[in-house]
Structure 1
Amino acid sequence: MDNNKIWFVTGASKGLGRSLVLQLLDQGYKVAATSRSIDDLRKLSTAADFLPLAVDLKSETSVKEAVAATIRQFGRIDVLVNNAGYGQVGGLEELSDAEVRANFDVNVFGLLNVTRAILPHMRAQQSGHIFNISSIAGFTGTFPGFGVYCATKFAVDGLSESLSAETKPFGIKVTIVSPGYFRTDFLASGSLGVPAQPIAAYQAVRDVQNAHQHEINGNQAGDPEKAVAAIINVAAVENAPLHLFLGEDAYGMAYQKMDAIKADLETWKEVTVNTAIEA
């Protein structure tokens, strides 16, 4: 592996981001890492190859300052991992406009702020690799109570696919990482928003919410250390995938979605194809 690459990782104080930073440093990479709390980042390492940065991803100024500091410290950025984000549970009728926009501000617009700030440097060096951490919920959305979160991750998937086509001429790769359930603190109270005004009628949403908070949390099958090791390995290959699903559960759910689409396509083929203007 080429451990001369400089990595820039958002959301690095916990979860997959934290595991990724620690593995990278252990392997000799130089890493710039962001979080809202500089103190949390400083607990990770005191190594000279580690640059902790307190960043408000919702602020373009804050993001640009962090990118500039990284370039000053390390000279370049080779790999960007847009990892920062949080889950939001709640039925679409339950969630307020403010709750919805807050989730998009971090999961989508924060990602865009970082990507826009780093792309000029990658274009100048004619190389780079962007990993956008999405979710299996960015590929299939049949989860009651997770419509807004799914919407943010569907947005990440869509913009990443377009980004991959836009940046290919500059030698910049894009990989969408779509994990299933991994045993991190993602479902803990600090990473999972709940509706401020729940509606009692949505029992299915409450059941899903309770399951995620009290049954799935802490019992996820995925090993986060193996997930981040996979990302590091993919960053080293010549022909990196656009879509990287992680977890046996993600693998199964992806095929369920594709099979469902194929079934709808074939069942409704006559309606679908018979929409042309008659000659």
Structure 2
Amino acid sequence: MTQTILITGCSTGFGEATARLFASRGWNVIATMRRPEAEAGLANLPNVLVTRLDVQDPASIEAAMAAGLARFGRIDVLVNNAGFGLFGVFEETSREKVLEQFEVNLFGLMDVTRALLPHFRANRSGTIVNISSGAGVFALPMISLYCASKFALEGFSEALSYELSGLGIGVKIVEPGGVTSTAFGQRSGAEAAGAHSIPDYAPFVAASNAVFAGLRASRANATSAEVAEVIFTAATDGTNQLRYVATEDIKPLVAARRETSEAEYLAFMRARVAPKLG
């Protein structure tokens, strides 16, 4: 029987690449996005249904699920990919933007998951793949709110995996790092441009921007297609592995966080990402 996957955030980046990969391997794909009218040709692929799903709109979640089930009869895998990042100093960020960061990256993901769980329970099978980030493992300056949302996603996903294991439902976390072939950086930059600037932070912001520019120049960025391959592995390998590091560039930072002492980790990170002032 052909399996079916529902993916959120398919207009660009990981979501689009993942939809294309699963379709190319014979899966039925429910490719969801906030604005289906802007989709990049996914609807022309065989066995792909493009439909609207805005994780901040519960009615659209239910409608997308209903459309997918009407078309394919069953959903086997959910990929929670929709998300965005706020870039800037915490104090400069409005409470409204903080709430939006969590509504999209965490609460919306929870709503989509909750909506699909009865279907998975009825089938006594299913796999949930939550797209996290290296910023869900280690924290970086200027993205405190994005880190907070992804740290929360990691904790939620791990706890949920214990709750669902006896029901035949698996939970996976995919952790990508720097990827050039997405619109993520563009939206983060646009969000930062709208932030209120506090002069006291100007030296720190300038120094942080220089640190990030150096990191970007020194690392080998993966592509969305390569991350999609890791998502495919997580969804199909049949193991109880929880976390998948999806790009090479973050592996030293993940290792520092998970394989060294707290003091060693903080010394490593401060030397690598803390801006030098004065």
Shorter-normalised TM-score: what interval?
0.7 to 0.9
Question: Which of 125, 131, 139 is the equivalent residue of 2:123?
Answer: 125
Match of 1:196 in 2: 195
Say whether 1:52 aligns with 2:50: yes
Moved more, 94-103 or 194-203: 194-203
Q: Which runs of 5+ in 1 are unaligned?
A: 266-279
Match of 1:173 in 2: 170
Match of 2:154 in 1: 157
Match of 2:142 in 1: 145
CA RMSD of aligned residues (A): 2.3
Is contact 1:185-1:191 (8 Å) kept?
no
Counterpart code for 2:156:
L
Match of 2:272 in 1: none
Shift of 1:159: 0.4
Measure the CA separation in 2 of the matches of 1:231 and 1:220. 19
Residues 209 and 85 of structure 1: is their aligned pair in 2 closer, same or farther, counting only changes over 3 Å?
A: farther
The 5 Å alignment of 1:68-79 reads: 68-79=66-77
Question: Which of 84, 87, 90 is the equivalent residue of 1:89?
Answer: 87
Say whether 1:234 aligns with 2:234: yes
Shift of 1:177: 0.7
Q: Which runs of 5+ in 2 are unaligned?
A: 266-278
Say whether 1:28 aligns with 2:23: no
Q: Secondary structure at the match of 2:56?
A: coil
Measure the CA separation in 2 of the matches of 1:168 and 1:181. 31
Residues 12 and 212 of structure 1: is their aligned pair in 2 closer, same or farther, counting only changes over 3 Å?
A: farther
Match of 1:256 in 2: 256
Is contact 1:95-1:196 (8 Å) kept?
yes
Shift of 1:264: 7.5
- Tell me the number of residue pairs that the alignment of Structure 1 and Structure 2 aligns: 261
Counterpart code for 1:171:
G
Runs of 4+ in 1 over 6 A off after TM superposition: none
Residues 31 and 187 of structure 1: is their aligned pair in 2 closer, same or farther, counting only changes over 3 Å?
A: closer
Counterpart code for 2:20:
L
Counterpart code for 1:138:
G
Counterpart code for 2:147:
C
Q: Secondary structure at the match of 2:42?
A: coil
Q: Secondary structure at the match of 2:150?
A: helix
Residues 131 and 253 of structure 1: is their aligned pair in 2 closer, same or farther, counting only changes over 3 Å?
A: same
Shift of 1:24: 1.2
Q: Percent identity?
A: 34
Shift of 1:187: 4.2
Measure the CA separation in 2 of the matches of 1:58 and 1:205. 31
Q: Whose helix fraction is larger, Structure 1's or Structure 2's?
A: 2
Measure the CA separation in 2 of the matches of 1:107 and 1:213. 25
Shift of 1:42: 5.9
Match of 1:113 in 2: 111
Measure the CA separation in 2 of the matches of 1:234 and 1:94. 37
Match of 1:10 in 2: 8
